[in-house]
Each structure stands twice: as structure tokens, then as C-alpha cells.
Amino acid sequence: MKVSVIGTGYVGLVTGTCLAETGNDVLCIDIDENKVQKMTQGEVPIYEPHLDVLFHRNINANRLHFSTSLDEGLEHGDIIFLALPTPEDEDGSADLSYVLGAAKEIGKLIKDYKVIVDKSTVPVGTSEKVREAISNETNVDFDVVSNPEFLREGFAVDDFLKPERIVIGSNSEKATALMEKLYKPFVRSGNPIITMDEKSAELTKYAANAFLATKITFMNEIANFCEIVGADVDKVRAGMGTDSRIGKRFLFPGIGYGGSCFPKDVKALHKSGKDAGYEFDILNAVIKVNDLQKKVLIPRIDAYFNNDIKDKTFAIWGLAFKPETDDIREAPALYIIEELLNRGAKVKVFDPEAMPNVKRKFGNDLTFASNMYEALESADALIVCTEWSIFRTPDFDRLRAGLNSPTIFDGRNLYDLKEMEKEGFYYSSIGRKTN
Ligand code: UDX
């Protein structure tokens, strides 16, 4: 099939590349000339495991192309994906200007029947708005489909190639059938393609993300309570997660969820509710608790250093909002760094992938170490913010040798309490006893 993808951000590029992998002829459109030129020359603009292999293979097979021309995009694809940003507006709602702007342009350029697929995360009712923006400009026949993505950063290629489910929301049988044909190769394992109306599909995405954010937040509150009463959240998690109604995943407490999806989507669903006269009390609480959780280590650090961390040095391991990505959007580490710098502390950081992004944000306010042990040199404590595999089994002798005193604040519960006691560290983690 011939497919065009408008927008080559993380979702658009993964979608375009993976659709080319099953033999479709894909044209990716972006307004950024520089980016398009680089991609044409074979440069992958984002870090995402396995993407580079697929990207190059499909460019070489002549199935993956790039252009800045929307006109060309409309000419090429029978199915046109919109994978455009929906950033958070000041009031927490999703800003639809990119999506609706593109829809208007499509209306001006469309010459024959197309299926316009909304892949961006958008509030309920956006498909209707997209349809209206297009039909205001044209009489040509077209259909709109809502096809939310459930891609995790760091696993996006895997998630796309082997999805647990595909959601297709459309009021048109013709468009639904085309979409089912496009996705058939990805669900050979028997996972379902779930078809529904547009609005239900749009809400499915928000409901899924808000539920997961709530699940994490609930565990963070249980962890905070464990600390007060002297329980161990690891044990509680194991005891709960074995109940198949609860499930083992997404029960890991820490210093809050971040990233480009959960924070934005929870706020957007909350705002959608408000706009429709419905108050999502539970989401209010999730937003509030997560904001507090990102800084949960700060009062303990203050207390440990008798409220005087001016001129103390902190090593930070992990800057990305989670492992296997260089994405620092809403990353808890950034909130911690800001608090430390505000108090006059010095901060030395290491992250396997995210340091260039942090450098752009903080510049010379931080020291960037070239490896995890270098960050420890003459630091008064280590703070773990992201659970990269490389941090899981460190050489504790080198930790003791590098740090001024053996002190660790662990926001991701990487280490075993007994081992830390044996190794002689002051060790403070989330929802567990402090050594
Ligand atoms: C998420 C959804 O999983 C994906 O389906 C959606 O399409 C986009 O948003 P992503 O943001 O890439 O994906 O990350 P995810 O792996 O879901 O983690 C989100 C955040 O939750 C991270 O900050 C992570 O550290 C945190 N988290 C996750 C926890 O704190 N505890 C957990 O148990 C799981």
C-alpha cells in the first residue's frame, strides 16, 4: 500500500519506518528542511533501539522516502497519517493547532479519496474537528480514522511490530477495512485489532495512559506510607502483583512518572473532563501526588545534611525520564537538579544517552562526567534518578573510593537493602527502610 506520514517526530518516524518494513511504500513529510535532508542522507534523527537498522534497510530497499512537500505527501499516499505534536497548552489542554493546521492544508490539496489517520494523542472529538477543517476546503470524498499509538519510548519499534492490540476508530467501513489490511501483518500472533467509533478510540488512548499513571502514583503513595509505618514496598508489591486482577507491571515506586506522554495526557484528560462539565477527582490527585513525588528525595537530603547543602557536591546517575532513551521531558532528575542548584550545591551528572539534551538546558551550571565513576569523585552523595542497567551492579569499592562518604539516595530502588548494609552505605530508597 502507499502510505504518507505527516510529521517525523518519534511517533511519525517509527510508524513510517515500521510500515515500510512490511513492504508498504512510505513517504514521510516534515516541514523541517534540515531534518528531511539529513534523513534522506541516512541520518536517524532520534535515538530509539533497533530503529536505525530498519530505517537504513527500508531506505536501501527504496520503500522509505522523505520530503518537505505536503502536496507530494497527498499525491503519494492512499492512507495519510497525521503524527503531529499536540503540546500541552497553558491551561493543560492539548494544543491542536498543528493537527488542525495540517487538516486545513490537506483540504486545500486533496484531489481524490484518502483515509486521513489521526495518530497524535488528541482529545475526544478531534476527528470531528479534523473532518470539518478538511471539508471546509473541499468537496472531495475522504474518511477520518482515529488510530492511537501505544508506543513506549525505548521499545517503540518492538511495540509497533508486535502490538498487544491495534485500535481503529472510524465511522466508515471502507476506511476501517483499509486500516485492517494495513495492520494485518503486525497481528499475526493473534493479538486483536479492535474496531470502534472515533470517539471511543480517542478516549481509549487517554484512558490507558491515565490508568497507568494512576497505577504508578498509587504505588508511590503506598511506598511513602510504607516508610512511615516501617513496611517494605518491595514485599507489598510482590504480594499485590501476584493477584492477576492487579498484575505485576507498573507497580514500581520511584521518584514519579515523567516523559512526553503521561504528564501531558493526564492533564489533557483532566481538562477535557472539565470542559465537558466533569471533574476527574482522581486525576487531580494523580497530578498533585506526582509533582510532589518528583522531589520526594529533597527533604531527606536536606535533613541528612542538616539543611545546609550549600557547597556540597552531588553525583547524579541518570537524567533521562526512564532508561533506553535520551528523552528528558518531565524527567524527575531535572527537578532534583534545580532544587540542588537553588540551594547552592554543585552537581555532577552522568547518563548514557541524555547528557547532550541536559547540556542544552543547564549548560555550565553542571559538571558532565564521562563515565559513571567519574561523576562520584569528591561528591558528598550519589543520587540515582534513572534505572539504566549499567547502574544496577556497580563496583561498590569504586563507589566508596570516589565518594567523600558512602551515601546513596536511590530514587529507583536499584540495590538490595541487605547488600547495602553489608557494604556499609547510608542508603535511602523509596518505600523501604533506610540503612
Ligand atoms: C507511555 C505508555 O507506556 C505508552 O503506551 C504510550 O503510548 C506513551 O506513554 P513512555 O512514556 O515511553 O510510554 O514510558 P513508560 O515506560 O510507560 O514509563 C512512563 C513513566 O512511568 C516513566 O517515567 C517511568 O519511570 C515511570 N514508571 C513506569 C514508574 O515510575 N513505575 C513503573 O512501574 C513503570
Q: How confident is the model at residue 92 (pLDDT cuts 50, 70, 90)?
A: confident
Q: Which atom of ligand 1 is nearest to the CA of 331?
A: 23
CA distance 194 to 180: 10
Write down the CATH number for the domain with range 206-293. Answer: 1.10.1040.10
User: In whole numbers, what is the pLDDT of the chain averaged over residues?
Assistant: 96
CATH superfamily of 2-196: NAD(P)-binding Rossmann-like Domain (3.40.50.720)
Tell me the C-alpha to C-alpha distance, in Å, between residue 278 and each of 22, 122, 264, 270, 283: 43, 18, 18, 9, 12
Q: In the prediction, which pLDDT does 34 show?
A: 97
Q: What is the DSSP string of 77-91?
A: -SEEEE----PBPTT
C-alpha Rg value of the chain to the nearest Å? 24
pLDDT above 90 covers a percentage of the chain that reads 94
Q: In the prediction, which pLDDT does 139 show?
A: 97
* CA-closest residue to ligand 1 atom 10: 152
What average pLDDT does range 55-59 have in this prediction?
A: 98
Q: Which atom of ligand 1 is nearest to the CA of 255?
A: 30
Beta pairing partners, 428: 409
- DSSP E strand stretches across 193-248: 193-196
Taking the centre of ligand 1 as the mean of its atom positions, its distance from the CA of residue 388, in whole angstroms, is 14
Determine the topology of domain 297-428 in CATH.
Rossmann fold (3.40.50)
Taking the centre of ligand 1 as the mean of its atom positions, its distance from the CA of residue 294, in whole angstroms, is 14
Domain with CATH 1.10.1040.10 in the chain: 206-293
pLDDT above 70 covers a percentage of the chain that reads 100
What average pLDDT does range 388-395 have in this prediction?
A: 97
Q: In the prediction, which pLDDT does 428 show?
A: 98
Taking the centre of ligand 1 as the mean of its atom positions, its distance from the CA of residue 250, in whole angstroms, is 8
Q: In the prediction, which pLDDT does 435 show?
A: 86
Q: pLDDT, tens digit, for every residue of 187-217?
A: 988 899 999 999 999 999 999 999 999 999 9
Q: Which of 10, 153, 234, 266 should be mutated for ligand 1, with most atoms under 8 A from CB?
A: 153
pLDDT at 12 over 90: yes
Q: Which range among 50-54, 92-96, 169-173 shows the weakest confidence by mean pLDDT?
A: 92-96
CA distance 70 to 76: 10
Q: In the prediction, which pLDDT does 213 show?
A: 98
Dihedral over alpha carbons 339, 413, 226, 435 (to 10 degrees): -90
Q: In the prediction, which pLDDT does 88 show?
A: 85
Q: Which atom of ligand 1 is nearest to the CA of 153?
A: 12
Taking the centre of ligand 1 as the mean of its atom positions, its distance from the CA of residue 322, in whole angstroms, is 8
Pocket of ligand 1 (CB under 6 A): 149-153, 209, 212, 216, 250-252, 254, 257-259, 261-262, 321-322
pLDDT at 259 over 90: yes
Neighbouring C-beta atoms of residue 101, cutoff 10 Å? 12
- In this prediction, the answer to ipTM > 0.85 reads yes
* CA-closest residue to ligand 1 atom 26: 257
Nearest to residue 319, comparing CAs of 275, 293, 356? 356
pLDDT at 324 over 90: no
Q: Which atom of ligand 1 is nearest to the CA of 121?
A: 7
What average pLDDT does range 293-306 have in this prediction?
A: 98
Q: Which atom of ligand 1 is nearest to the CA of 249?
A: 33
Residues forming the active site: 261
* CA-closest residue to ligand 1 atom 6: 150
What average pLDDT does range 318-328 have in this prediction?
A: 94
Taking the centre of ligand 1 as the mean of its atom positions, its distance from the CA of residue 261, in whole angstroms, is 8
List own/partner pairs for 335-342 with CB under 8 A and 24 or more apart.
Answer: 335/294, 335/295, 336/255, 336/294, 336/295, 336/297, 336/298, 336/383, 336/385, 336/411, 337/362, 337/366, 339/295, 339/298, 340/301, 340/309, 340/314, 341/365
* CA-closest residue to ligand 1 atom 28: 250
Domain with CATH 3.40.50.720 in the chain: 2-196, 297-428
Taking the centre of ligand 1 as the mean of its atom positions, its distance from the CA of residue 152, in whole angstroms, is 7
- What is the reported pTM? 0.94
Instruction: Let me know: does 353 contact 368? Beta carbons within 8 Å.
Output: no
**Over 342-400, what HEC string results?**
HCCCEEEEECCCCHHHHHHHHHHHCEECCCCCHHHCCCCEEEECCCCHHHCCCCHHHHH
Q: In the prediction, which pLDDT does 238 show?
A: 97
Q: pLDDT, tens digit, for every residue of 215-253?
A: 999 999 999 999 999 999 999 999 999 999 999 999 999
